[in-house]
């Protein structure tokens, strides 16, 4: 399987404290970067309009095959925790770790969360905006 923007994988987040299993969304292909899906905003995020604007709503009703409640793509940080070969190895070992793609509405929510985003490194913003700008398919 070739990796693509918007794919979701259930992987171990070793940079999380404490480490735990999380949903990773392919955010950028080169270099390979991910967004995380979180169940709710942290208190710090909830207190900041800028942080809240960087969270993209992911509806459980559109992702019932892996979500149990509405959640958020955290477009306020990028992770480079896994290489493409490591993602493939994880999927080979456990095919259920691949959850499919974000819905069209979630994709648009991520695209909107990138507009005016000042929380992500500037060097990635143009590439992210291009990667998440969907043409009508």
Give the per-residue pLDDT at 137: 42
How far, in whole angstroms, is CA 91 from its chain's centroid? 17
- Distance of alpha carbon 8 from alpha carbon 27, whole angstroms: 10
CA dist., res. 115 & res. 53, Å (int): 9
pLDDT interval class at 1 (50, 70, 90) = confident
What pLDDT score does 70 carry?
97
3-class DSSP assignment, residue 10: strand
Mean pLDDT score, 17-33: 96
- Segment 55-74 mean pLDDT: 96
Mean predicted confidence (pLDDT) in 99-127: 95
Q: How confident is the model at residue 136 (pLDDT cuts 50, 70, 90)?
A: very low
Helix (H, G, I), strand (E, B) or coil at 100: strand
Q: Is the pLDDT of residue 60 over 80?
A: yes
Please say if the pLDDT value at position 112 is more than 60: yes
Residue 135, pLDDT score: 45
Q: What is the mean pLDDT of residues 73-87?
A: 97
For residues 25-47, average pLDDT: 96
**Is residue 18 scored above 80 in pLDDT?**
yes
Q: What's the predicted TM-score (pTM) here? A: 0.95
Q: Domains of the chain by range and CATH?
A: 7-132 (2.30.30.110)
When pLDDT is averaged across residues 44-57 and rounded to a whole number, the result is 96
- At CB < 8 A and 24+ separation, what contacts does 82-90 make? 82/11, 82/24, 82/32, 82/34, 83/32, 84/3, 84/32, 87/3, 87/9, 87/11, 87/32, 88/1, 90/9, 90/11
């Amino acid at each position: 399987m070739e990796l693509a923007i918007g794919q979701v994988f259930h992987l171990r987040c070793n940079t999380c404290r404490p480490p735990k299993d999380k949903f990773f969304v392919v955010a950028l292909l080169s270099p390979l970067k991910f967004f995380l899906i979180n169940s709710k905003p942290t208190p710090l995020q909830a207190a900041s309009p800028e942080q809240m604007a960087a969270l993209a709503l992911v509806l459980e009703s559109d992702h019932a095959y892996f979500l149990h409640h509405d959640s958020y793509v955290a477009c306020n940080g990028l992770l480079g925790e896994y290489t493409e070969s490591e993602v493939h190895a994880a999927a080979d070992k456990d095919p259920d770790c691949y959850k499919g793609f974000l819905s069209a509405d979630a994709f648009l929510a991520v695209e909107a969360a990138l507009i005016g985003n000042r929380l992500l490194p500037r060097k990635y913003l143009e590439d992210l905006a291009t990667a998440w700008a969907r043409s009508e398919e």
